[in-house]
A = this chain, B = another copy of it.
Amino acid sequence: MVAKHLVDVIRGGIVESEHWGHIAVVNSEGKLIYSNGNPNRVTFARSSMKPLQAIPIVETGAADFYQFSQADLSLTCASHNGEDQHTNRVRMILKNLDESIDSLKCGTHPPRWQEKYEELMISGKEVTAEYNNCSGKHCGMLSTAKFMGESLEDYYKINHPVQRRIVEVISDLCEIPLDEIEIGIDGCGVPVHGIPLKKLALGFAKLANPASLPAKRKQAIERITSAMMEEPEMVGGTNRFCTDFMKIEKGRMFGKAGAEGVYCIGDIETGIGIAIKIEDGNGRATSSVAVEVLKQLNLITEEQSKLLKEYHYPELKNARQEVIGQLRPSFSLENA
């Protein structure tokens, strides 16, 4: 089954481009209730997997031993902007670990937050690994390796215990055998996990309602999702959908973007899990689809959707700062 038409990109009153993709909505019983496109589309969750990747930080005891605050834990689930609020915290975590920036194996890229990038250039400072949007996740991985007495140099490699624990969590929560999980390499060098989209939605349903899970895992999950919702600035930052969405949801829902057009949401109140994949991989369309899905499921109020308007109907501006286009969702959820 091919992708379905999800979003129009409007310019000059006509459709300039279209985004097609897939949506899977799973209820608290683990049943697929809505699906557009192909719910079995094997999808690299990319950074949407971060809340699951954080579970071993708590379960191993590393989070307690290194006294991870809620904000620290939220940062381990982040694709952050590289603002001071993020990088200062990365350095604090590394200090608690008695490790340096060089211990992070994520590589470097300019901070997503343009002002910070320009500030670094102007002041002649180096763009180090702390500005990598995944540096919080790498701090978490490093902390479990160190706490467990494992090698630190290669914590990012597929056969390292850090990565084995993560893939086992994914296999368990998403109910997919280990040998059916596709593996690739992420933008920051660690393994990424490819699973059917409906399994990804199931994973988020379990994060939203972990009642059926063993106490230890339930507790770890609740600590992580609470951290994301209590400290949403850590997950993205200024002008980021994940952050602004969780601020507006005030502890009811958590959401996480992934590269190549992925977005996942868990709703604590209903136990619903949602997974979205834009087939062409363009992240510009994900927030528009996410808000529209919540609206059609009646999971957000009219007022909330108004507050999210800039993400629901993102505007395109030109170099003269004129609004010259807009993204508009163009789908109806289909019963699975």
Contact = CB atoms under 8 A, between A and B. Distances in A.
A284 to B, nearest CB: 9
Q: How many copies does the complex hold?
A: 2
Interface stretch (A28-36, A101-109, A218-226): A101-109
A194 to B, nearest CB: 6
A55 to B, nearest CB: 22
- Interface of A: prevailing SS: loop
A16 B281 contact: yes
A9 interface: yes
A124 B108 CA distance: 24
B319 A188 contact: yes
B12 A194 contact: yes
B281 A17 contact: yes
A280 B184 contact: no
A326 to B, nearest CB: 11
Interface residues of A, number: 48
Nearest to A19: B280
A181 to B, nearest CB: 10
A300 interface: no
A306 interface: no
Interface in A110-148: 118, 121-122, 124, 132, 134
Interface string A258-276: 0011000000000000000
Contact of A318 (B182, B186, B319): B186
Interface string A174-204: 0000000011111111001010000000000
B11 A184 contact: yes
A36 B95 CA distance: 57
A16 B185 contact: no
Given A121-B118, A319-B108, A324 B186 contact: yes
Contacts of A121: 118, 121-122
Contacts of A132: 319
Contacts of A42: 14
5 contacts: A18-B280, A132-B319, A184-B324, A184-B325, A189-B320
